[in-house]
Amino acid sequence: MIFIYKDLVKRYIHILKKEDLEEFASKNNIKYTKKELDITYNFIMKYYEELLNENIKVFEILKPQISNTLYKRLINLYIDYKQKYI
């Protein structure tokens, strides 16, 4: 089952739009600035394979670029989703 989720992400990551990320963030009570949205979107597009391979250390790249609150929220969300789907 894990491979199915990873395969789905790999197939559809390239059609992910910033608007999709905004909608997902809104549904999860995550607040972004415009700059943080751009940074987070670019991060996801560049490092999605590492995230799928459970390399949580890759978040260290993101940490200095966004607010501490957003960083913690994204880490917690990643851990929650990883436990459910990866």
Picking from 66, 20, 14, the residue whose alpha carbon sits closest to that of residue 40 is 66
pLDDT in tens, 27-85: 999 999 999 999 999 999 999 999 988 899 999 999 999 999 999 999 999 999 888 87
Residues 14-30 as b/e (b if ≥16 CB within 10 A, e otherwise) read: eeeeeeebeeebeeeeb
CB 74 within 8 A of CB 40: yes
The pTM assigned to this predicted structure is 0.86
pLDDT recorded at residue 11: 83
Helices vs strands, H then E, count in the chain: 5, 0
CB 65 within 8 A of CB 35: no
